[in-house]
């Protein structure tokens, strides 16, 4: 129920007021029903109020969702409150207990049947609970993996050493060949999924234009490399849902997520693509990632170009050294 806003700063007061109004409403209803001779018995009223507070109000009204452990605390506190209410006087307490005592006494056919069913269900339920909690579980143990471990200072690819702090993407250049880190944004229109070119008919915006030069031409070449090598895992939309993705743990990176290439320096990505999962330092669990070490299959230029394509397609900028 997020349409009814919780006012920031007054949320606890609002919650207590709302609950009080609901309970007042219930009391009025019950009072009117009692007048008409069909009042809800105390026992069921108590259960209904408890269910309303815990299974409806706290679960669906309060947002963001409250974790179960916290709801369990509220459940206990509200049960205590309800007990205080139903045991306010001797008569009320007797009225509350009456259905329970009736079932235990089993004086007529109806209460006797309920008692028999309960006597059968209780041990079966307890047995099932005990069985379930003793059953061994075959789930994988949790692995804590650093997704973005600290990169090395330098990395050697195809015999050449790259200093990660100073290396530059050689293809992030404008049509005059000048390095321009913000070039891409001028040529795409922001879209939540996928990128749209500003002007499909312009060789500056459309990578498939035969006259495309510089940056935008390299994007196309990177795209070709991507669809020949990477999309099986990282997906057609670069969202990590490739054909093979579901077989792996950790799953392939989702480049459209703000937590991957958007927050990495381009040289970090270069190092990751060149060295793959196997080249990750110990904290990154190198043996668990299937990301291939692409230096074994691609040239340095191809690696830079495919990285260009990933940034172009997702519309993100590489992070700069700040």
Residues of this chain that interact with ligand HEC (CB under 6 A) are 148, 229-230, 232-234, 244, 248, 250, 252-253, 260-261, 269, 272-273, 277, 289-292, 294, 306
Provide, rounded to whole angstroms, the least separation between the CB of residue 195 and ligand HEC. Answer: 17
Q: 206 or 265: whose CB is closer to ligand HEC?
A: 265
Beta-carbon-side half-sphere exposure of residue 249 (alpha carbons within 13 Å)? 5
Q: How far is the CB of 146 from ligand HEC (least distance, A)?
A: 10
Integer angstrom CA distances of residue 157 from 152, 294, 300: 13, 10, 7
Calculate the dihedral angle through the C-alpha atoms of 66, 68, 71, 76, rounding to the nearest 10 degrees. -170
Residues in CB range of 80: below 8 A, 6 or more apart: none
Asked if residue 266 lies in contact with residue 165, where contact means CB atoms within 8 angstroms, the answer is no
Nearer to ligand HEC, 86 or 261 (CB): 261
Least Å from the CB of residue 148 to ligand HEC: 5
Rounded distance between C-alpha atoms, residue 163 and residue 178, angstroms: 21
Taking the complex as a whole, the smallest distance from the CB of residue 247 to ligand HEC amounts, in Å, to: 9
**β partners of residue 244:** none
Q: Which is nearer to ligand HEC, 277 or 315 (CB)?
A: 277
Minimum distance from residue 41 beta carbon to ligand HEC (Å): 60
Q: Helix or strand or coil: residue 248? A: coil
What's the min distance (Å) between Cβ of 251 and ligand HEC?
6
The tokens describing 189, both together, are 């229109």
Please answer whether residues 196 and 188 qualify as being in contact, where contact means their C-beta atoms are separated by less than 8 angstroms.
yes
Question: Smallest gap, in angstroms, from Cβ of residue 188 to ligand HEC?
Answer: 20
Instruction: Specify the residue, 45 or 273, whose C-beta has the smaller distance to ligand HEC.
Output: 273
Report how far residue 12's alpha carbon sits from residue 106's, in angstroms, rounded to the nearest whole number. Answer: 45
User: Cα(104)–Cα(5) distance, rounded to whole angstroms?
Assistant: 46
Between residues 82 and 291, which has the closer beta carbon with respect to ligand HEC? 291
**Identity of the residue, 43 or 317, whose beta carbon is nearer to ligand HEC in the bound complex:** 317
If the CB atoms of residues 209 and 310 are measured against ligand HEC, the closer one turns out to be 310
Q: What is the DSSP code string of 187-244? A: GEE--SSS-EES-TT-TTT-TTSTT--HHHHHHHHHHHHHHHHTHHHH-TTSSS--TT
């Amino acid at each position: 129920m997020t349409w009814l806003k919780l006012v920031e700063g007054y949320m606890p007061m609002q919650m207590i007021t709302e609950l009080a109004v609901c309970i007042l409403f219930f009391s009025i209803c019950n009072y009117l029903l009692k007048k008409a001779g069909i009042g809800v018995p105390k026992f069921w009223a108590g259960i209904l109020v408890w269910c309303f507070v815990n299974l409806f109000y706290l679960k669906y009204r309060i947002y963001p969702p409250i974790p179960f452990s916290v709801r369990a605390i509220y459940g206990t506190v509200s049960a205590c409150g309800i007990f205080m209410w139903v045991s306010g006087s001797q008569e009320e307490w007797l009225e509350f207990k009456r259905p329970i005592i009736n079932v235990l006494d089993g004086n007529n056919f109806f209460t006797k049947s309920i008692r028999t069913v309960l006597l059968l269900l209780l041990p079966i339920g307890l047995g099932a609970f005990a069985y379930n909690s003793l059953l061994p579980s075959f789930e994988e143990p949790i692995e804590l993996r650093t997704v973005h471990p600290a990169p090395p200072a330098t990395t050697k690819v195809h015999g050449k050493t790259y200093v990660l702090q100073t290396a530059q993407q050689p293809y992030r250049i404008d049509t005059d060949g000048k390095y321009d880190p913000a070039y891409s944004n001028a040529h795409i229109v922001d879209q939540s999924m996928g990128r749209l070119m500003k002007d499909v008919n312009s060789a500056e915006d459309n990578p498939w234009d035969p006259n495309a030069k510089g940056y935008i031409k390299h994007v196309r070449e990177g795209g070709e490399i991507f669809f020949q090598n990477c999309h099986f895992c990282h997906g057609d939309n670069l969202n990590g849902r490739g054909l093979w993705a579901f077989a792996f743990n950790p799953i392939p990176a989702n480049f459209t997520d703000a937590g991957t290439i958007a927050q990495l320096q381009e040289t970090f990505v270069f190092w990751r693509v060149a060295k793959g999962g196997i080249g990750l330092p110990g904290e990154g669990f190198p043996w668990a990632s299937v990301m291939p070490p692409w230096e074994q299959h691609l040239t340095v230029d191809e690696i830079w170009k495919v990285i260009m394509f990933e940034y172009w397609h997702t519309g993100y900028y590489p992070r700069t050294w700040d």
